[in-house]
């Protein structure tokens, strides 16, 4: 039995359009109330279709991001913003450079800090989310380790924004982006499971057969730190948006 509602689409393209339409509706609703929409954003291959569609809605249908505030989940550490694999660069190339979001409303964990400054920085990142009014909708992908953000196995339900060590499998999956596994950073800064669970709504997207077994564990398995995404079973307003292939192992 499904413990998290799943919406299953034939293709990732359709799923991405549906998610983008939901985000656009939230932005417009907030705008009509004179309020800001607070978005929690993910990187990686999964949300690219959503960002493409949001850019199209901006260019062709007048969707404005002037009242949108964004918080990204994670960033490799160390990482300079102009490096090829930086999530700052990813977000600008895939979304921010093509819409009218204000630079001061964009937040992405800083991969350029000195080690000693990371803890205090993470506390401030959390405080900025709270000060903004909390995240209205958090977009997530899922790693083959079950990670959401970079909450690798062992991340507890109360974990907060912090420095983590990347799992071997995650570094292997990132190897092609870095041209070799040994070039993949060993650490990252990520929002915690507890941070993610405080979002008012959570949408986890997963596409392709490579994700089917971890999706089944997250949706139907035991709630445990072995699969961080399983904690979404305890969220009152979480849903998975899948293509047929990623839904294949669900009962």
* Interface with ligand F6R (CB under 6 A), residue from 6, 20, 37, 44: 44
Helix (H, G, I), strand (E, B) or coil at 68: strand
**Angle formed at CA 216 by CA 148 and CA 91, multiple of 5 degrees:** 30
Q: Which is nearer to ligand F6R, 67 or 142 (CB)?
A: 142
d(CA 40, CA 243) in angstroms, rounded, equals 22
Q: Please report how close the Cβ of residue 132 comes to ligand F6R at its closest, in angstroms.
A: 19
* Interface with ligand F6R (CB under 6 A), residue from 45, 80, 112, 183: 45
- Helical (H) or strand (E) element with 88: helix 87-94
Interstrand relation of 37-41 and 106-107 (parallel, antiparallel or unpaired): unpaired
Active site residues: 152
Residue count (the chain): 251
d(CA 129, CA 117) in angstroms, rounded, equals 19
Residue nearest to ligand F6R (CB): 141
Stretch that binds ligand F6R, among 12-20, 119-127, 140-148, 236-244 (CB under 6 A): 140-148
Residues 203-232 that bind ligand F6R (CB under 6 A): none
Residues 148-167 that bind ligand F6R (CB under 6 A): 148-150
Q: Which is nearer to ligand F6R, 67 or 74 (CB)?
A: 74
* Interface with ligand F6R (CB under 6 A), residue from 16, 43, 85, 86: 43
d(CA 74, CA 93) in angstroms, rounded, equals 16
Q: Please report how close the Cβ of residue 143 comes to ligand F6R at its closest, in angstroms.
A: 4
Nearest partner of 4 among 215, 164, 207, 169, judged by Cα: 215
Binding site for ligand F6R (CB under 6 A): 42-46, 73-74, 141-143, 147-150
């Amino acid at each position: 039995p499904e413990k998290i509602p799943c919406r299953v689409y034939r293709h990732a393209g359709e799923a991405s359009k549906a998610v983008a339409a939901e985000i656009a509706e939230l932005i417009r609703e907030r705008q009509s109330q004179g309020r800001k929409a607070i978005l929690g954003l993910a990187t990686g291959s999964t949300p690219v279709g959503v960002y493409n569609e949001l850019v199209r809605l901006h260019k062709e249908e007048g969707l404005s991001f002037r009242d949108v505030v964004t918080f990204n989940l994670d960033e490799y550490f160390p990482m300079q913003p102009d490096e090829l694999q930086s999530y700052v660069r990813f977000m600008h190339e895939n979304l921010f450079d093509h819409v009218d979001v204000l630079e001061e409303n964009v937040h992405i964990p800083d991969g350029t800090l000195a080690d000693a400054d990371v803890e205090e920085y993470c506390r401030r990142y959390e405080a900025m989310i709270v000060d903004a009014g909390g995240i209205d909708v958090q977009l997530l992908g899922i790693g083959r380790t079950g990670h959401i953000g970079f909450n690798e196995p062992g991340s507890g339900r109360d974990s907060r924004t912090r420095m983590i060590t990347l799992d071997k499998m995650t570094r292997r999956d990132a190897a092609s982006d870095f041209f070799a596994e040994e070039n993949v950073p060993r650490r990252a800064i990520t929002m915690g499971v507890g941070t993610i669970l405080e979002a008012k709504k959570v949408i986890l997207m997963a596409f392709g057969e490579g994700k089917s077994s971890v999706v089944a564990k997250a949706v139907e398995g035991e709630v445990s730190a072995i699969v961080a995404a399983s904690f979404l079973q305890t969220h009152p307003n979480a849903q998975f948006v899948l293509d047929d292939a990623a839904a294949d192992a669900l009962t």
